[in-house]
Structure formats: C-alpha cells, structure tokens
Structure 1
Amino acid sequence: MNKFKLSLGYFSISSAMLLASQQGMAAGFQLNAQSATGLGRAFAGDAIIADNASVISRNAAAMSLFDSAEVSFGGVYIDSSVDVPEATYTPISGNSVETSAEDIGGSSIIPNFYYVQPLEGTNWTVGAAAYSNFGTDVSFDSDFMAPEFGGDTSLSSVNLGFSAAYRINDQLSVGAGLDIIHGSGEIYRGDGLLDIEADGEALGFNVGLAYEFDENNRIGLSYRFSPELEANGDVNMGGDTADSVNIPLPDMIELSGYHRLQPEFALHYSLQYVRWSEFDALTSDGLDSSIKEYQWQDAGHVSVGGTYYIDPKWELRAGYMYDMAPTDELTSLSIPDSDRHWISAGVSYLPTENSTIDLGVSYIVGEDGDINETMEIIDGAPAHMRATTEVSATTVGLQYSYKF
C-alpha cells in the first residue's frame, strides 16, 4: 500500500517537547486537551474561569484577572478506541463483501505550556502559550479489504501563541493574540491512489472580552480565526503530482460564564461554535481536482460544570459536554464522526500558597456513526462503502502551576 501522509501539527517547547500524532476526541477532528483543569470540568467555563495560565488557550482577555506572573504546564494522555463492527464494501468490480475493523484508534500524550505576566504599573498583561487545537489518528490494518477507504489518517494542529490583554476598567477587559501554526503528519491510502508527505506554517489570530459583574460572577467571549494551512511536500495522487496541500481550519467562537454561588461552590458553563463549513475539502494548487471533499456543516459543543472548594488546599470539579458532529451528507471512514458525550471529573491540590497540582479525567463516548461513502477511482467506476462506527476514549491530564 502507498502512504498518503497529510498532517497539521508538531511542535517543541524549549528544546524538547514533541507532539506525537493523536486521536482528536472532540467532534470533527477538534482536540480538547489544552489543560488538566479544563479536562476535569469538560471545559465548561474555560474562557473565563482563569484559575491558571491555560486560560490563554481560550480567551486572551481573561489574563487581566491575574495579579502576578504564573506558569502552567503539563500534558493530556488520550487513549481512543475506534471500531468498525459492520461494513459493506462494494469494489469497482465484483460483488459486495462484508468486512469490519477493530481498534483503529490511537494513543498519545499531548503537552502544553502557558505563561502569564502582568506588566507592573500598567493595565497590560502579556502571555505565551504552546498547545494543540486539532488532531486525529486513525490506522487500519494493511489487510483491510477496502484500502481506498481505510489506510492511515493522521491530522493535527499546534498553536504557538503570543497574547496581550488590557484592562479598560474594573469590569471590562479586552485581549488579542497571534497564533503561529506549524504542521506535519500522515495519511495513507490504497495502492497507487495517494502518497503525500507535507508540512507547513500559517498565521492565525484571536480576540476576546472579559466582563466581571463582581468578584464572584463573570463572563468571557472569544473569537479565534484559523487560517487555511498550506503544507508543502511531495504529493502523488493517482500518478498526478504536486508540491503542496491546502487544509482549511475552522474558526471558533466561545462564550463562557463563571458564577460562585456559595463560598464552597461555583457553577460554570460554555457554548462553543465551530465553523466546520470552512473545512470543505483538501485541495492542492497543482492538481485538477480536490484530494478529498468533506462539505461539513457548522457545529460546536455545550458544556456545564461545577467546582467545589473544599478548603484552601483542595478543590473538586466535574462537568458534562455534548459535542455535536459537523458531518452532513458526505461522511468519511477516514475521519469517523458522530455526536459525543463527555463525563469529566478533576481535583486540584495546593501544596503551597503559590503552587497547584491538577488532575483531570474524562470518559468520552460517541453515538454510533453511519458511513455512506463513494469514491470514483476510475471514471465511471466508483467504489462504495457503507459502515457503522463506534468511538470512545479515556483521557487523563496532569498539570502543575506556579504563581511568582
């Protein structure tokens, strides 16, 4: 089999942190793995809670809530399970055959790093971050009976972000940031169909607002512009060659709220809207036709959570997320998707006044997905795949934060 390698993401923090390929366990190929605290509450309220520096990944304006410099770093382990228990494959010639596939998901550790620095004597706060927003890793066995629909798919994106926030008054803050996206990865398709190796960079940006009603109630709103990433490399599609691949990434809008209803308990929530309709196709300027059509629709997630402040040293949190799939009429076995449910829990321990250790765990289960995919390998001779997919994952995050 030839290897169709397509990617969007790898990075290093300082000289050594490497992002491995991963299964993006949010809908589409979005990756929610920016922090252990966010993981422990199903990312409910993450654009405004600002309990550590990882808030940069959701809303730059919320950096104004910090009184002193803070660093946060850690990683999230994702162990995903993707099965195809039922599939009917109709080749370009011959009869339809029944096939199936098990354990085509993957596992990896995704690191993250954040730093927030208030500028003394001013209303400004600046920050830097490294994290990932998108990723998927699906790999079929080499003997899978439908190689043009199976193979390997590895997609990921990583943001290196630089942000600034400005406090306008006691209640309102604004923020903005620049995202540098670097990518590389793999997709593998059947014999002679596709063979691509590529990597590239692109620039995006984000803007945000933070509004504090009082010390116990606040909301945040953010918008993130994601560019079309041009990945350069070797492209071979059925004998036609090119030297780049265009991957459109979706913009995101998020609204979050945090309300400390009692000294011991806070309620928080988020509504995120993802413009997946921008992810219409993988294309190349050097090819006459699209590499792969997707034509997804806009989607997003809604999440709600709570935090219980036991005492000055311990916090417990939990949350639920309903994550909507963007797939519309076109579905693909290479990125199996369906609506997903997150059940999350987490804990924070403060060994000293200035340091925090966070642990978060989520179990994600996807509703059964229906695949109905056609591929015209030879003009007038399409192959067809009908399948059911089952997706689930366990994610565990660990994080350390220190206030200077």
Structure 2
Amino acid sequence: MTTNNTRLFKKSLLAVTITLASSQAMAAGFQLNAQSATGIGRAFAGDAVIADNASVMARNPAAMALFDKTELSLGFESITSMIEVKDVEYVGGAIPVGDTDDVGDTSIAPNIHLIVPVNDKFAWGVNAYSNFGTKTEFDDSYPAAEYGGLTDVKSINFGLAGSYRLNNQWSFGAGLDLIYGQGTMKRSSGAGMVLAGVPVGTPLLNVDEADGWAVGFNVGTVYELDENNRFGLSYRYSPEITAKDDKGQEITLPLPDIAEFSGYHKIEDTKFAVHYSVQWIGWGDFDQIEFENLSQGLIQGTYNKEYQWQDGWHYAIGGTYYLNDTWTLRTGYMYDTSAQDELTSISVPDSDRQWLSAGFTYHIDTASNVDFGFTYLLGDDVDVTETSSGTPLTATTHADAILLGLQYSRSF
C-alpha cells in the first residue's frame, strides 16, 4: 500500500469511526433525556409545563414561576442498552463475522435541580444533569474492528436560570448552560485490512478522555388558562463543543438546538390529567465533525467529515392519576424519529423508536416524595452499508433499551 493511499485510507477510516454519535440509550442522535425519574415514568410527555418538581427547569426555565416554595430534586437514571449487529457481510463475505448482541452497556446519569422563589414575581434556580452522551464497545476480537471499537462520550450541563411572572397567565424564563464534554474513541484494524497490507490489531485511532467546555442558553414561557390547564414553550441553544486530549488532538462537535411545546390538562372533578409534548431537535445542523492536529501520523492539520443528518422529532402523550394523598401514578408513550438519514454505521445503531413508560410518586409527607420511572425503548432494524475504510461491510443493527429512574424531591 503506497504512502499516499495509506494516508487517504486512514483519513476515511478515522472520519467514519469517530462518529461520537450513537444513542444506544435514550433518543435519536446522541441526545439523552436524563433530567428526571418523573419524566421517564411518562415518556417526558408534558415535561416543559407540568412542574410537579424542580426538574422542570431543565425543560423550561419559565416553569420555575409555578412554585411558591424552595424546591429540591435529586436522583439518577440507569440506562441499559441492548444492541444487536447481525447478518454481517464483510469484504464480500470473504471473512465471516458472527452476530453480536453485547455492544451496549449500562450507565448511570445523576441529576440535581434547585428552584428558589424570591417573591411572587421572581425565582432563580441551579441544576446539573446530562443532556448528551453515548457508549458502544465492540469486543477486541471483532473481525471488522475498524468499524467497531470503543466510543464513549458524555456531557454534563451546569445551569443557572431565572423566571419572571408577568401576571396570572404569563410567565417567562431564561438561563445559561455551562457544558462540559468528555470523549474516548479507539479503533484498530480488522481482519479485512490485511488485504490492504495493514496487520490485524494495528492502532488506527486512540483519542483518550478528550475534554472541553462550551456555553449555551435557554428561554421559555408558560401560559396558564387556569389552575388545571396550561401550556409551555421552550427553546435551547446548544453550542459547538471542542474536546482536546493530552496529546493535542482536537474534535469539534456541533450540538443540536432543541425546541419543545407542552400542554397539561387536569380533568375537572376527576383525579386524572392528560399531558403531551412535541419536541424538535435540530440534528440538521450536525453537518460535520472537525478533526484537528491529530497525532500518530494519521492526519496532520485539519480534516472535516460530512454527516448529512436530519432534524429529529419527539411526539409524546401521557396520563397522570392522582390516586390519593400518598400515591400518584403515571404512564406515557413517545414516538422518536431517527436523526440519521442515508449515512449509517454499525457503531451508530440509530432508528425511529417507541417509548413505553410507567412510573409513580410516593408522597412521604406533604413536603417530600420519591419518584420511580421505567421505560422500555423499542428500536427498528436498520440496514447498514459501510465502505469508507476500503473493507466493504453490510449488516443489520437493532437497538432497544431499558431506562430506570429514582428521584427524591422536597419543598422547603
């Protein structure tokens, strides 16, 4: 293999395999919905306006105006992904690759939210949670290793927000987001690359714990028809985030903006409420990942990779049953559209998805409660074709997930 061809091959391989972009766990693209256990229990239907605990500030800062006491919520979500890669044909079938169903992982995403009303007009709040993340890991012996490897990306969102109640109907809010991102991406050559003169197991990419910071913002409004009917609208600007490791390798990743409309309606003289959300995720802005100053002789200078993603949508509907002073029951359904369009990968098991959710609140007393949420996430089969590395591969991927959330909330 000539020097020029080797460099071109490695450029193509690197750009494909450092996707940073599977969401084996939560939502299309690599978006996480990990703000609250309450939301998990209703498929996040109505979460920009229900305001049953402090976690609502992560979806709509204006909803902080709905509280007249200091509110604290803290908890965590357990995310278990079940990813299948099957029916693989690698380098024209010359090298057999068996089915695998152990690509996914279990991860924990903690969160904390605090809302402090100043008076009947103003409130402020702080929070910390994860908005984007993913992890997929293929076994070291996987024959098509150049398309597998390890992708481990996570972010933490530190937020500061304020709200203002204009009158009995309208409230407004805004906040700043300080986002910390960290990523590890590793790839090595597979069996098919021997045909191109590259020994099996040759390191191709080793970006280890690259990290960086970026600043975003969010705004929102709430309109209350009466105490039982209200609507919420919010918008979140997400910046580009540049991560750098200790070897000087840099990766610039454009994050998507998010807009959400929610409604909540408690049926008069009953214990039942219905709520819903429509969320737009601007994955169409995810046009490319920029690589800069990469070491190991792979790329010197700058290289950009096109991705051609499409905007995503969430459509969620749910119900809450206020059984008594001790128990509140909830359920929900969400349809979540894929961020990817024509470009696919076995390390990016993205597809349209369905959420089946249920949960409850146990009220310890009038000031404190515990929430539990459960979601089973159903993905679709996706036909994948990969050719950029020079070792053509076709396969079918399928990703399901189980989400569990536990949360403690208290009023002061």
Counterpart amino acid of 1:403? S
Offset at 1:331?
A: 0.8
- The CA distance in 1 between the partners of 2:392 and 2:309, in whole Å, is 20
Query: Is the 2:358–2:375 contact (alpha carbons within 8 Å) kept by the matching residues of 1?
Result: yes
Contact 2:23 2:349 (8 Å CA) reproduced: no
Secondary structure in 2 matching 1:64:
helix
Structure 1 equivalent of residue 282 of structure 2: 275
Q: Which residue of 2 aligns with 1:163?
A: 161
Q: Which residue number corresponds to residue 112 of structure 2? A: 113
Cα distance, 1:288 vs. partner? Answer: 5.2
Give me the TM-score of the superposition, normalised by structure 1.
0.89
1:103-136 CA deviation, whole Å, 9 max, x = no partner? 100002111000000003x511100010111111
What is the Cα deviation at residue 98 of structure 1? 4.1
Over 3 Å counting, the alpha-carbon distance change for 1:176 and 1:115 in structure 2 is: same
Q: Deviations over 1:173-205 (max 9, x none)?
A: 110110000111212112332221310000000
Q: Deviations over 1:118-167 (max 9, x none)?
A: 003x5111000101111111000011111110001112222100000111
- After superposing the two structures, state which structure 1 stretch, 291-300 or 154-163, moved more: 291-300
Q: Which aligned segments of 4 or more residues in structure 1 are displaced greater than 3 angstroms?
A: 3-8, 21-24, 94-99, 285-293
Distance 1:179 1:25 in 2: 21
Instruction: Answer yes or no: is the 8 Å Cα contact 1:78–1:109 preserved in 2.
Output: yes
Aligned match of 1:228: 240
Residue segments in structure 2 that go unaligned for 5+ positions in a row: 1-13, 189-201, 294-299
CA distance in 2, matches of 1:64, 1:201: 29
Q: Read off the aligned partner of 2:358 and give its amino acid letter.
A: A
Deviates more, 1:57-66 or 1:188-197: 188-197
8 Å CA contact retained: 2:379, 2:398: yes
Find the residue that maps to 1:283 and give its secondary structure. strand
Mapping of residues 135-150 of structure 1, within 5 Å: 135-150=133-148
Distance 1:402 1:246, change over 3 A: same
Counterparts of 1:101 and 1:282, CA distance in 2:
28
Determine helix, strand or coil for the equivalent of 1:322: strand
Question: Partner of 1:284: helix, strand, or coil?
Answer: strand
Q: Normalising by structure 2, what TM-score? A: 0.87
More helix by share: 2
Farther off after superposition, 187-196 or 297-306: 187-196
> Secondary structure of the equivalent of 2:284?
helix
Question: In structure 1, the residue corresponding to 2:109 is in which secondary structure?
Answer: strand
Unaligned runs of 5+ in 1: 9-20, 236-241, 377-381
The 2-side partners of 1:7 and 1:171 are apart by: 45
Q: Give the match for residue 341 of structure 1.
A: 354
The number of residue pairs the alignment matches comes to 377
In structure 2, the residue corresponding to 1:148 is in which secondary structure? Answer: helix
Between the aligned partners of 1:228 and 1:385, the Cα distance in structure 2 is 31
Task: Determine if contact 1:47/1:221 at 8 Å carries over to the other structure.
Answer: yes
Identity of aligned residues (%): 50
User: Amino acid of the residue matched to residue 159 of structure 2?
Assistant: G
- Aligned partners of 1:334, 1:23: CA distance in 2, in Å? 9
Letter of the structure 2 residue corresponding to residue 160 of structure 1: F
Aligned to 1:90: 91
Distance 1:234 1:261 in 2: 57
Distance 1:293 1:37 in 2: 37
CA distance in 1, matches of 2:19, 2:289: 11
Residue 334 (structure 2) pairs with residue 321 (structure 1): yes
Alpha-carbon displacement from aligned partner over 1:187-237 (angstroms, at most 9, x marks no partner): 2112332221310000000000111011000010000001000111256xx
Supply the distance in 2 between the matched residues of 1:6 and 1:140 (Cα, whole angstroms): 14
Residue 150 of structure 1 aligns to which amino acid in structure 2? G
Alpha-carbon distance in 1 for matches of 2:19, 2:106: 17
Deviation, 1:96, is: 5.6
Structure of greater Rg = 2
Please state how far the C-alpha of 1:25 moved relative to its aligned partner: 2.1
Measured after TM superposition, the shift of residue 301 of structure 1 is: 0.8
Judge which range, 52-61 or 26-35, deviates more: 26-35
Q: Do 1:348 and 1:358's aligned partners in 2 also have CA atoms closer than 8 Å?
A: yes
Q: Work out whether residues 23 and 31 of structure 2, in 8 Å CA contact, stay in contact via their aligned partners in 1.
A: no
Tell me what 1:103 maps to: 102
